[in-house]
Amino acid sequence: MDRGPHRFSYDQIIGLIEPRSTVLDLGCGDGELLHQLMVTRDIRGRGVEIEEAKIRECLAKGISVFQGDLDEGLKEYATGSYDYVILNETLQALHQPVMLLREMVRVGRRAIVNFPNFGYLINRAQLLLLGRMPVNRDLPYEWYDTPNIHFCTRRDFVDLCSRLDIPVLRTIDLRHERHVPPRYANLFATECCFLLQGVDGRKSV
Amino acid sequence: MDSSGVGIVAPQDITFAGAGEDPLLLESGRRFGPITVRYETYGSLNADRTNAVLILHAFSGDAHAAGFHQQTDRRPGWWDTMIGPARPFDTNRYYVICSNVLGGCRGTTGPGSLDPATGRPYGLSFPVITIEDMVNVQHRLVRHLGIDRLLAVAGGSMGGMQALQWTISYPDAVAGAIVLASTARLSAQGIAFNAVGRNAIMSDAGWNNGDYYGKEPPARGLAIARMIGHITYLSDASMHTKFGRRLQEREQFGFDFSDQFEVESYLEYQGGTFVDRFDANTYIYLSKAIDYFDLGGKYGSLERAFEKTKSKFLVVSYSSDWLYPSYQGKEIVVALMRRRKDVSYTELDCPYGHDSFLLETERQGALIGSFLHTVLETVRRDG
């Protein structure tokens, strides 16, 4: 999902991935993240993307990609078939984020989700002081033309993971590429990244 | 003549499975030979023989995929837009091969060929053949050309079926497979249209149980079969754009049966020119081969069919193709993914119906060019 000039640093995600693992990147865009993972981590990866033009770019990079709609879930993918399932900057654009999260931790041994934190100070301030939906460098869209339909705050997401019984293994919270301690992240992080426990080690699967 | 393509090309023939040689064991259990294969090649085979791409033609295609046979030819080979220097099947990099299928009527042995045992055309004594039989013949050709492993096989429609069969029959001989507008099993709808086509031919008195060579052929029946086929290759939108409701020679209805809509005249023309280059018995044999094609049925399940494949796949379907709809392409992809095979899939949003794979060259070409490049890199890296 293209959210404008700023995007969550790929390096942060790459740092979470073990070398030579298998990676499924949901909403992989032009395949740049997978490409970097192949080069730096020697992973075996594939992407899912809905836009034809992006698919052409993926293939041009030598990345295998499936044209599919994430709102249809991951029923084609066997349980535990990937080491990592990544959802990079796409959670907020899904019609059924809960369904997809469940699917991600089913298919992946780990899941990585990152999203813009709606609870960030400036967003709150814009809503509180101006009485308008936040529009800024991190959330560049007007409310009427945004692809982002399911915003949440970091705290909302933590709550959701606990309600879904998905263990959070690690979080990375950034304010414009700088780390923010978890304690203050809901207020000061612009971007949050969660490493979630997938199928192995979960009791009910 | 377009000078940017492969230029003048010459078809070649090779014959095998003749007297004293191994006959071809057909899927039906019959042994058959001799078999002559008509083929063309474009570009050159590299020293380590790793750059060969086999093009697999669709139902009414032939070995003449690119270039011109003579300076005076009006039209180039059937996939000329895709094959040539700097085209997706780039003949500066790849050695491109295309052959007419077994059972065909364009140079490869088929029902219209002479049976050496009788000195007369086979007609219906030609054995019933399958997609797998076609592939086995192609494999012999490829071996004859000194190639152990193809960089890729590529085809649309019936050609896509052959590409899939190649990856199953010869997993070590195919690095990449490009499957366009195709399916792993012909649908009931597809079988139904084929049946109507065969019926049109068989009910033409000229057909005479397939024994019409040297006599008046069942031209009307074959033309009608082609018209039906052609309708299934187009789409509502493409017909609307191309013809609308325009009349051929009048502005107003004349309220008599000489009124002809443009679409009618187009179909007449397509049917009429088809009979000049196609054999009615080949229509019957090839349509039957397509009807029989069902990988899931043959191997227990589609997943099991792909169990031993080692190729990298590119599957493309087209949004307006109602003969081989996108869900059928997706079925192939899902089965491959479940077996953890390397596959890419896209559905091109394209108005031309089933024929899209012949017409939508630009976007399709970009996908294919990238895919071939990746396969070549992989082959070079991993051997």
> Does A203 score more than 60 pLDDT?
no
List, as ranges, residues 288-327 from B with C-beta within 8 Å of A.
Answer: 312, 314
Give domain status of residue A77, yes or no. Answer: yes
Q: Which of B90, B133, B279, B321 is catalytic?
A: B321
CB contact under 8 A, A65 and B346: yes
Residue type, A99: M
CATH number, domain of B335, equals: 3.40.50.1820
Give domain status of residue B5, yes or no. Answer: no
Chain B residues closer than 8 Å to A24 by CB: none
> What are the pLDDT digits (tens) for A173-196?
999 889 999 999 999 999 999 999
DSSP B54: E
CB contact under 8 A, A64 and B334: no
Q: B111 and B204 in one domain?
A: no
Q: Which of B287, B306, B330 is the last residue of a domain?
A: B287
Give domain status of residue A182, yes or no. Answer: yes
Q: B153 and B175 in one domain?
A: yes
| Phi, psi (rounded to 5 degrees) for B294 | -160, 90
Chain B residues closer than 8 Å to A58 by CB: 344
Which helix (DSSP H) or strand (DSSP E) does residue B282 occupy?
helix B280-292
Nearest Cβ partner for A59 among B340, B349, B370: B370
Per-residue pLDDT, A5: 38
First-residue to last-residue Cα distance in chain B: 39
Pairs of CB atoms within 8 A across A/B: 50
**Rounded Cα gap, residues B159 and B144, in angstroms:** 21
Give domain status of residue A1, yes or no. Answer: no
What the block records as the tokens of B377 is 């890199």
Q: In angstroms, what separates the C-alpha of A45 from chain B's closest C-alpha?
A: 10
Distance of CA A172 to the CA centre of its chain: 12
Distance of CA A81 to the CA centre of its chain: 19
Query: Pick from B153, B143, B146, B129: which is nearest to B27 by CA?
Result: B129
Q: B160 and B33 in one domain?
A: yes
The residues near A129 (Cβ < 8 Å, ≥ 6 apart) are none
Residue B321 annotated to the active site: yes
Chain B residues closer than 8 Å to A35 by CB: none
Interchain CB contact of A76 with B (< 8 Å): yes
Per-residue pLDDT, B383: 72
**Rounded Cα gap, residues B113 and B121, in angstroms:** 5
Distances (CA, A) of A162 to A165, A166, A194, A196: 5, 6, 13, 11
Q: Which of B260, B287, B314 is the last residue of a domain?
A: B287
Q: B279 and B244 in one domain?
A: yes
pLDDT band at A8 (very low <50, low <70, confident <90, very high): low
Per-residue pLDDT, A52: 93
Task: Output the tens digit of pLDDT for each of chain B's 383 residues.
Answer: 566 899 999 999 999 988 889 999 999 999 999 999 999 999 999 999 999 999 999 999 999 999 999 999 999 999 999 999 999 999 999 999 999 999 999 999 999 999 999 999 999 999 999 999 999 999 999 999 999 999 999 999 999 999 999 999 999 999 999 999 999 999 999 999 999 999 999 999 999 999 999 999 999 999 999 999 999 999 999 999 999 999 988 888 888 887 789 999 999 999 999 999 999 999 999 999 999 999 999 999 999 999 999 999 999 999 999 999 999 999 999 999 999 999 999 999 999 999 999 999 999 999 999 999 999 999 998 87
Distances (CA, A) of A124 to A115, A118, A140, A178, B109: 16, 8, 15, 20, 76
Chain A residues closer than 8 Å to B319 by CB: none
Q: B129 and B50 in one domain?
A: yes
CATH number, domain of A166, equals: 3.40.50.150
pLDDT band at A6 (very low <50, low <70, confident <90, very high): very low
Helices (H), A24-88: 32-41, 52-60
Q: Which of B157, B169, B182, B326 is catalytic?
A: B157
| Phi, psi (rounded to 5 degrees) for B233 | -85, -15
CATH number, domain of B277, equals: 1.10.1740.110
Q: B315 and B270 in one domain?
A: no
**Coil, strand or helix: which one is A84?**
strand
> What are the pLDDT digits (tens) for B131-156?
999 999 999 999 999 999 999 999 99
Q: Which domain holds residue A110?
A: 10-197
Q: Which of B262, B287, B312 is the last residue of a domain?
A: B287
Per-residue pLDDT, B251: 84
pLDDT band at A200 (very low <50, low <70, confident <90, very high): low
Interchain CB contact of A66 with B (< 8 Å): yes
Residue type, B341: K
Q: B273 and B313 in one domain?
A: no
Residues B318 and B181 sit within 8 Å (Cβ to Cβ): yes
**Rounded Cα gap, residues A190 and A121, in angstroms:** 9
Per-residue pLDDT, B253: 87
Chain A residues closer than 8 Å to B349 by CB: 52
Q: B180 and B323 in one domain?
A: yes
What the block records as the tokens of B15 is 């014959």
Which helix (DSSP H) or strand (DSSP E) does residue A114 occupy?
strand A108-116
**Rounded Cα gap, residues B357 and B348, in angstroms:** 10
Indicate the number of domains in chain A: 1
Question: Which residue of chain B comes nearest to A51, CA vs CA?
Answer: B346
Give domain status of residue A4, yes or no. Answer: no
**Rounded Cα gap, residues B194 and B168, in angstroms:** 25
Q: B234 and B173 in one domain?
A: no
Q: B350 and B241 in one domain?
A: no
Give domain status of residue B330, yes or no. Answer: yes
> Does A201 score more than 80 pLDDT?
no
Indicate the number of domains in chain B: 2
**Rounded Cα gap, residues B351 and B166, in angstroms:** 29
Q: Which domain holds residue B50?
A: 12-185+294-382
Per-residue pLDDT, B179: 98
